[in-house]
Structure 1
Amino acid sequence: MSNLPELTPGYAQVPSGHIASVVTFLEMTSPPEPRGAVREPVPYRLERMRAADLTRYRDLFRAVGAPWLWFSRLRLPPEALALVLGDADVEAYAVCEGAQDIGLLELDFRVPDECELAYFGLVADRVGQGLGRGLMREVLTRAWHRPIRRLHVHTCTLDHPQALAFYQRAGFTPYRRAVEVAPDPRLTGDLPRTAGAQVPLLADH
């Protein structure tokens, strides 16, 4: 990632049928100090998803990520995604409330001494209810339980408007910014054309 070409000042044309976002990369190199009193147990549970849970994982990825145009896991062939979920160093969890899946949490330990918070989110009707704070405590506990030296995450301007501030409050520090251009997932069939209504669909331009 460090060898990306640098952009020059000014505007650049985004190719037809593509989307663009500004990506901010964040990290922490030690567990943050606990803040405040111990909270009550959260009203949900985490269920590990593995290779056999491919359909459940894809459905949950769409449910959580469609409003923000998440697409990367949807473009992986099933056999490639099954290998990811089956890896002992990838911990993918469904956040469950009763019989309903309401969120996704994925930790990737495949790089030695590191953990990437690869995916973190709740379905739309659970956002803004304070559930994310408890879920982030789970992230920090599970990530730093392993002997890592670095926990990192990235977010972009297509994500929830509060995502960047949320990660910073959790103890992450921004260290790099980049621009990502990708085919619009609503035009490739990865997501319905109604997804991400806040991002104009420029299908005919």
Structure 2
Amino acid sequence: MRGMKLLNLKSFKPCLFEMKILGIIGPGISVGGILISYLIHRDWWGITENAISDLGRIGLPYNWVMNISLILGSVCLIIYGAWRFKKSKDIGWLLYMLGSVFLGLIGIFPEGTNLHYEVSWGFFVSMFLAILLLSISFLIRGNKLGIVGLMLFLLGVPLALWSLKKFEGVAVAETISIVVFLIWHYLMLGDA
């Protein structure tokens, strides 16, 4: 019985420091895994010819480096997003959590599996919608971070869509989207 008290999630009250750490390391783990995967496969991988997912595709040696990092990073971001939602009740954080789930699913369903395309799009669409909704919410509350978020959204989406048509691979569009998310994420982290 005594051990059950330790598992009582209702009494679990994470502190701001713990949640900010998850918010800091979540994207770092995922992006770090992508960068390490790139370094491993840089002899054949090119940003204008490939997709980031090519670095984790089925059958590729060391594909687990990227896939595991996406899963671990997503767990951190899901917990962080749940904490932010619990604090604010803002629906944008639910979209953020959904995007974080899709991030983990990209690692679970890497390129070469049936669901990969859908979970990849799910990640990018959910995260851009989260940026949009949360930025509007910040604006309504009078927080100037909302303006920055809207500017990132209004620049990032057209630029990513343009690069899909401009380059053979989708990695440029994915990179633009990820950079937009990272900038927005770390700015919002300061408002936690």
TM normalised by structure 1 equals: 0.25
- Identify the structure with the greater strand proportion: 1
Identify which of structures 1 and 2 has the higher relative contact order when contacts are C-alpha pairs closer than 8 Å and 6+ apart. 1
